[in-house]
């Protein structure tokens, strides 16, 4: 695996694919700068070597040129974080981009305009990729969040740098963290899967059963499993067409010696609302008209015990409807247990859009071993897929 440390960037122009697809508010201010912060070590290493950085990214999903998706909105934030002036060019290819990169001196940074202003980016157009490639000497892919997209700047471009391409530090860290869970994790390995639907997590469950000792299931997925075992789930979220599949997963887990931990009690509500009436009950005996929106206190204790005994922990998917304060307690309790286990020496990885949002919202970000910068990219990795952005560097 070629990484930044295999190169010296002195007098070289590094063409770096970053994922600066960050959330902006109505005033076009960055509301979460994690992805910019995460790219900093790569950029600083190249500058310290005596090279220059050409940063390319997408922002949002614009249909053609659209000023509200311009990367110029984030220039100030990138400058603040890097502590270095950031030049900006209003097109990622063409004469302006060529001139700006030709004039770039060692120690300087240039940010190119949104790659997705050109439809060729998402189409993976080879000629467009070649135009981008002509701007730099060494291609660095540090965009883990976009590594599941086979786009021009993430994948197709790599062929134009047969000997001069590598992963950035962020990408390296993401790959190593996933490997720590999926390949080299110290036992017992525990995966906690929550979130809304069995159907969106099934490929992950299938892929990880061979690698884990404990599987904790929570969130909305719970009730398909409980119903499959003959429980009464009231109006809870259930995928009736997945009942057989849920039973099969439980059997498969048993055959592979994976201990499955399902909730034993639930916080129930009489409506999908933070203002609904609530109660606590046996997870297999939810009255009609009520739905389970969080794990109950006995489940919290049970799950915490499994987590505290684990040496490697993977967490994907909230345990309840954490967006509503009345149903966030289980997710918070779990975040706390994972933090404690991490303090005691376990390795913990959190991935997936909503799980990462929950971890940040409840202040566990610095208390777990690693929080992925990728939503979709992380989920696809856990499903066992080879991400095109990673494969392009390895090939
Ligand atoms: N008991 C539940 N009933 C309905 N929805 C739930 C329940 N528990 C969690 N959820 C919802 O699941 C969603 C997250 O699921 P998902 O997208 O699969 O997670 P991730 O993005 O981390 O992979 C959240 O919006 C949360 O409110
Ligand atoms: O934010 C991203 O994905 P994510 O929301 O799944 O983490 C990436 O920048 C990829 O963006 P895309 O899903 O528009 O290709």
Model pLDDT, residue 1: 83
Instruction: Report residues whose beta carbon is within 6 angstroms of any ligand 1 atom.
Output: 194-196, 200, 219-220, 237, 292-293, 316-318, 320-321, 323, 352-355
Q: Which atom of ligand 2 is nearest to the CA of 122?
A: 15
Predicted local distance difference test score (pLDDT) of residue 395: 85
Which residue in 302, 63, 314, 61 sits closest to 204, CA to CA?
314
The token pair that represents 282 in the structure block: 């046996």
Cα 264 to ligand 1 centre (Å): 18
Q: What is the pTM of this model?
A: 0.93
Contact yes or no for 333/221 (Cβ under 8 A): no
Omega of the bond leading into 188 within 30 degrees of 0 (cis): yes
Q: Please give, one letter per residue, the 3-state secondary structure of the chain.
A: CCEHHHCCCCCCEEEEECCCCCCECCCCCECCCHHHHHHHHHHHHHHHHCCEEEEECCCCCCCCCCHHHCHHHHHHHHHHHHCCCEEEECCCCCHHHHHHHHCCCCCCEEEECCHHHCHHHHHCCHHHHHHHHCCCCEEEECCHHHCCCCCCCCCHHHHHCCCCEEECHHHHHHHHHHHHHHCCCCCCEEEEECCCCCCCCHHHHHHHCCCCCEEEECHHHHHHHHHHCCCEECCCCCCHHHHHHHHHHHHHHHHCCCEEECCCEEEEECCCCCCCCEEEEECCEECCCCEEEEECHHHHHHHHHHHHCCCEEEEECCCCCCCCHHHCHHHHHHHHHHHHHHHCCCEEEECCHHHHHHHHHCCCCCCCCEECCCCHHHHHHHCCCCCHHHHHHHC
Looking at residue 158, its pLDDT comes to 98
For residue 379, the ligand closest to its alpha carbon is: 1
Catalytic site residues?
35, 197, 353, 376
Ligand 2, atom 12: closest residue by C-alpha: 146
Q: How many whole angstroms from 354 Cα to the centroid of ligand 2?
A: 13
Work out which ligand 2 atom sits closest to the CA atom of 145.
Answer: 8
Per-residue pLDDT at 352: 85
Closest ligand, as measured to the CA of 378: 2
Beta bridge partners of 138: 14
The predicted complex's ipTM stands at 0.93
**C-alpha 310 to ligand 1 mean position (Å):** 24
**Which atom of ligand 2 is nearest the CA belonging to 60?**
14
**Structure token pair of residue 145:** 């969040």
**Joined tokens for residue 173:** 């860290």
Separation of CA 317 and ligand 1 centre (Å):
6
Identify the segments of the chain with pLDDT beneath 50: none
Q: Whose atoms come closest to the Cα of 145: which ligand?
A: 2
Distance, CA of 239 to CA of 241 (rounded, Å): 5
CB–CB of 394/56 below 8 Å?
no
In Å, the largest CA–CA distance within the chain is 70
Q: Residue with structure tokens 């603040």?
A: 80
For the Cβ of 62 lying below 6 angstroms from any atom of ligand 2, the answer is no
pLDDT per residue over 125-145, tens digit each? 999 999 999 999 999 999 999
pLDDT above 70 covers a percentage of the chain that reads 100
The two structure tokens encoding residue 353: 């859009």
* Look-up of token digits 């992963």: 167
Q: Whose CA is nearest to atom 2 of ligand 2?
A: 145
């Amino acid at each position: 695996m070629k990484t930044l440390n295999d190169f010296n960037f002195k007098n070289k122009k590094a063409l770096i694919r970053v994922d600066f697809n960050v959330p902006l508010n109505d005033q076009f201010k960055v509301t979460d700068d994690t992805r910019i912060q995460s790219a900093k070590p790569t950029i600083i290493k190249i500058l310290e070597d005596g090279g220059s950085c050409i940063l390319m990214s997408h922002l949002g999903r614009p249909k053609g040129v659209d000023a509200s998706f311009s990367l110029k909105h984030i220039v100030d934030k990138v400058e603040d974080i890097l502590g270095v002036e950031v030049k900006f060019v209003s097109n990622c290819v063409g004469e302006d981009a060529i001139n700006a990169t030709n004039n770039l001196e060692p120690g300087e940074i240039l940010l190119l305009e949104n790659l997705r202003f050109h439809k060729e980016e998402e189409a993976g157009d080879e000629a467009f990729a070649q135009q981008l490639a002509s701007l730099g000497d060494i291609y660095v892919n540090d965009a883990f969040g976009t590594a599941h997209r086979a786009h021009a700047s993430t994948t197709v471009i790599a062929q134009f740098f047969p000997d001069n391409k590598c992963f950035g530090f962020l990408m390296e860290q993401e790959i190593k963290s996933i490997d720590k869970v999926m390949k080299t994790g110290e036992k017992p390995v525990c995966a906690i899967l929550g979130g809304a639907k069995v159907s969106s997590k099934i490929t992950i469950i299938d892929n990880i059963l061979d690698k884990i000792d404990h599987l904790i299931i929570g969130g909305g997925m719970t009730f398909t499993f409980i119903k499959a075992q003959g429980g009464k789930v009231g109006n809870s979220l259930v995928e009736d067409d997945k009942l057989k599949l849920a039973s099969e997963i439980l059997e498969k887990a048993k055959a592979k010696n994976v201990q499955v931990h399902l909730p034993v009690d639930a916080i129930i509500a009489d409506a999908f609302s933070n203002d609904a009436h609530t109660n606590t009950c046996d997870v297999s005996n939810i009255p009609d008209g009520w739905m389970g929106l969080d794990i109950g206190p006995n489940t919290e204790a049970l799950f915490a015990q499994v987590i505290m005994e684990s040496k490697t922990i993977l967490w994907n998917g909230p345990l309840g409807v954490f967006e509503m304060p009345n149903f966030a307690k289980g997710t918070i309790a779990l975040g706390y247990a994972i933090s404690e286990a991490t303090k005691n020496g376990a390795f913990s990885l959190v991935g997936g859009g909503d799980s990462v949002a929950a971890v940040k919202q409840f202040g566990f970000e610095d208390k777990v071993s690693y929080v992925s910068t990728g939503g979709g990219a992380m989920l696809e990795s856990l499903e066992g897929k080879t991400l095109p952005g990673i494969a392009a560097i390895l090939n």
